[in-house]
Chain A
């Protein structure tokens, strides 16, 4: 399976600031996704990162708050904008190599907002 590198692994940020999380894959993948795992909870899909075009966001998530880029088939970024304590979560990148493969996850970014 693909090796997924997610940076940073954790960060502590001030309220009102923004943080960009990077997801790098060691091979080309067909699909990339971003999920959020709030403390003690399950994972929720934020958006599908589309290569060369705007991401597809799930209900409750908007581009102004979570802008996503995917310039090529191996890299994507998620920005958490204007952060508040409610944004404290683990953010995970996941990929699908091809249509017959399951989804694999990066180790996640543990984000705390003070």
Chain B
């Protein structure tokens, strides 16, 4: 079984400031890691994923996350946030076989002007 911990329930940040959303996981087997974003009153969208290969993965809108196996972390970062990045961000993990996702509790990113 896996578990995911997102320590920060809310992260307020000013526009154009950098941000890091923390995610730690535990698992006894090999895992895939994901960040999903949920904008207000919308569905869940995949932001980025780590399946294999390079431990640093990037999204098309400037977010990146690094898989750190020794620290069992997959923190999400963006060097400069926009108002439009305001959303709920969920870190998730699955094992490489069954693929069912275990989600963290979510982090609400609030970008202020």
Contacts and interface: CB of A to CB of B under 8 A. Distances in A.
Nearest to B108: A40
B103 A42 contact: yes
State which size class the interface on B falls in.
Answer: 20 to 34
A111 interface: no
A102 B49 contact: yes
A44 B34 CA distance: 15
B43 A42 contact: no
Residue of B36, B43, B49, B106 with most chain A CB atoms under a 10 A cut-off: B43
A99 B97 CA distance: 8
Contact of B32 (A35, A48, A102): A102
Contacts of A45: 100-102
Contact of B43 (A41, A96, A102, A106): A106
Interface of A: 31, 33, 35, 41-45, 48, 92, 94, 96, 99-100, 102-108
Please list the 8 inter-chain residue pairs (A to B) with the smallest Cβ-Cβ separation, ordered nearest first: A107-B43, A105-B44, A102-B49, A42-B103, A43-B103, A42-B105, A42-B106, A108-B43
Given A102-B34, A102-B51, A107-B43, 16 more contacts: A31-B99, A42-B90, A42-B103, A43-B44, A43-B90, A45-B101, A92-B43, A99-B99, A103-B94, A103-B99, A103-B101, A105-B36, A105-B43, A105-B44, A105-B45, A107-B42
